[in-house]
Amino acid sequence: MHRRQKPSSPERKRDLGAHGGALSVSRNDTRSFFNFSQLVLSAGHLKSPPVLKHSKITYFEVEILDVQSKKQICIVDKVPPSSTLLDVKHKFHKACPQWYPSRVGLQLERNGPYLKDSINIQSLAVSSIITLYFTDLGQQVGWTTFFLTEYTGPLLIYLLFYIRLSTIYDQVESTKNFRHPVVHLACFCHCLHYIRHLLETLFVHKFSGGHTPLKNMIKGCAFYWGFTSWIAYYINHPRYTPPSFGHRQVSFAALAFLMCEAGNHFINVTLAHQNHSGLKACFPSPTYNPFTWLFLLVSCPNYTYEVGSWISFTVMTQTLPVGIFAFLMVVQMSLWAQKKHKLYLKRFYPEVRRKAAMIPIIF
Mean pLDDT for all residues in the chain: 84
Report the SS3 class of residue 133: strand
Cβ pair 225, 194 in contact under 8 A:
no
- Asked if pLDDT for residue 27 goes beyond 80, the answer is no
Cβ pair 101, 89 in contact under 8 A:
yes
Greatest Cα pair distance, the chain, in angstroms, is 161
* Rounded-to-integer distance, Cα 134 and Cα 25, Å: 77
Q: What are the pLDDT digits (tens) for 286-322?
A: 889 999 999 999 999 999 999 999 999 999 999 999 9
Q: What is the side-by-side order of every strand in the sheet holding 60-66?
A: 72-79, 60-66, 129-136, 104-107
Strand partners, 134: 66, 106
Q: What residue spans define the domains of the chain?
A: 60-138, 139-241, 245-275+283-362
Could you tell me the pLDDT band of residue 166, with boundaries at 50, 70 and 90? confident
Cβ pair 16, 10 in contact under 8 A:
no
Cβ pair 352, 344 in contact under 8 A:
yes
Q: What pTM did the predictor assign? A: 0.77
* Rounded-to-integer distance, Cα 67 and Cα 88, Å: 17
The architecture in CATH of the region 60-138 reads Roll (3.10)
Cα 74 to its chain centre, rounded Å, is: 28
Better-scored residue on pLDDT, 279 or 120: 120
Residue 63, H or E segment: strand 60-66
